[in-house]
Amino acid sequence: MAHSFGESYRVGSTSGIHAITVFCSWDYKVTQKRASRLQQDNIRTRLKELLAEWQLRQSPRSVCGRLRQAAALGLAWLLCLGTALGCAVAVHVFSEFLIQSPEAAGQEAALLVLPLVVGLLNLGAPYLCRVLAALEPHDSPVLEVYVAICRIISEKKLKRRRKPEFDIARNVLELIYGQTLTWLGVLFSPLLPAVQIIKLLLVFYVKKTSLLANCQAPRRPWLASHMSTVFLTLLCFPAFLGAAVFLCYAVWQVKPSSTCGPFRTLDSMYEAGRVWVRYLEAAGPRVSWLPWVHRYLVENTFFVFLVSALLLAVIYLNIQVVRGQRRVICLLKEQISNEGEDKIFLINKLHSIYERKEREERSRVGTTEETAAPPALLTEERGD
């Protein structure tokens, strides 16, 4: 990289770069039409850049041109700063007006005007600054690149400091709360689930866009599997069971409105089933099994107690199975740890045995050398 940087810097600073680009840029190994066309475009673009730079050097700007350029740059910077200060002052003044206005204090819709204005300013101000930045006159493309880089860095640094974190816990609770309200109101408004589905779709895409544009990653990581378990647990037990208990109480005990609604002539919504059964009994023998089902399976408390007992038994068995699985997992973990300790003990034992054998072999080699030394000395003495 250093070598190529030096070569490009040295070649780019030579005076004959135009001739080099014209006569030495073509790669004769290129045979395909698409590749040759791409190479032609690259050479053409390179020649345009060189000619533009050469013209800029040959015809420097006059003093008036430089003054106009400085005035344009100063005006662009002043407009950017004025836009930021104007937005801040406008939000402050508008908020003070809403707080002091007695008419706006009593209306709930007026409280949403300030967040709407702030959101519109946050969305529109950056685009206005980008338009003003595009109007800045820069002679050199290199200077324009450097200015843009100083801005891709300052923007990221400032956004990291001022961007809020996406509150996963609060959004999960909002989903549970909305679903609970849907369960509570489905008896009184049957179309409420459809409204909830549409609302969830809209909120999902709005929050997704806001998350990508306005929020930063949370400092504390969240496990998706753990959050899914918490969401399902809270949604099933407190939310669903609470809504079911409330709806059962409303069906059996709460007296309906006497002026409107399909149950206005009844003491409770549960009596509508009894009235329907009477109509079925009078209709004929073809539907006689429906009153029997209602009488012995719905109104009979023994069947309800039996179903409840079976449900509790199933829940108890599932709890015991989960506890058994946890115990088995704990035992397996202990077994794995014990096997690991046994392996370490065996490895240490083998290592000690191997070292002992090595010491014994060394001692044997030493003794054999000592026993073999005297005969050699005797032969030497005899030779002498």
Q: Is residue 382 predicted with pLDDT exceeding 50?
A: no
Q: Express each pLDDT in 75-122 by its tens digit.
A: 888 888 888 888 888 888 888 887 777 665 556 666 778 888 887 887
Spatial distance between the Cα atoms of 266 and 274, rounded to a whole number of angstroms: 11
Q: Is residue 376 predicted with pLDDT exceeding 50?
A: no
Report which of 189, 290, 172, 281 is spatially closest to residue 231, judged by C-alpha positions. Answer: 172
Q: Are 151 and 133 in contact (CB under 8 A)?
A: yes
- More confidently predicted of 162 and 275: 275
265 phi/psi in degrees, rounded to 5: -95, 5
Q: What is the pLDDT of residue 137?
A: 66
Q: Express each pLDDT in 10-40 by its tens digit.
A: 544 545 667 777 777 788 888 888 888 888 8
Cα distances (Å, whole numbers) of residue 2 to 5, 6, 9, 145, 288: 5, 6, 10, 22, 94
Q: What is the mean pLDDT of residues 189-208?
A: 91
Q: Which DSSP symbol is given to 83?
A: H
Spatial distance between the Cα atoms of 213 and 123, rounded to a whole number of angstroms: 10
Q: Is residue 384 predicted with pLDDT exceeding 60?
A: no
Most confident segment among 45-59, 71-85, 245-259, 315-329: 315-329
Per-residue pLDDT band at 195 (split at 50, 70, 90): very high
The residues near 216 (Cβ < 8 Å, ≥ 6 apart) are: 159, 160, 163, 164, 165, 166
Q: Is 281 exposed, middle or buried (0-12, 13-18, 19+ CB in 10 A)?
A: middle
CA angle 2, 16, 62 (to 5 degrees): 100
Q: Is residue 311 predicted with pLDDT exceeding 80?
A: yes
The mean pLDDT of the chain is: 77
Q: What is the pLDDT of residue 239?
A: 84
Q: Compute the half-sphere exposure of residue 47: CA atoms within 13 Å on the CB side of its CA.
A: 15
Q: What is the pLDDT of residue 379?
A: 45
- Give the least confident one: 46-50, 207-211, 335-339: 46-50
Q: What is the mean pLDDT of residues 305-331?
A: 88
- More confidently predicted of 45 and 289: 45
Q: What is the pLDDT of residue 27?
A: 80
- Give the least confident one: 152-166, 322-336, 353-367: 152-166
Q: Are 178 and 200 in contact (CB under 8 A)?
A: yes
Q: Model pTM greater than 0.85?
A: no
Q: Are 164 and 216 in contact (CB under 8 A)?
A: yes
- By percentage, how much of the chain surpasses pLDDT 90? 5
Q: End-to-end distance of the chain based on CA atoms, in angstroms?
A: 77
- By percentage, how much of the chain surpasses pLDDT 70? 77
- More confidently predicted of 183 and 214: 183
Q: Are 303 and 311 in contact (CB under 8 A)?
A: no
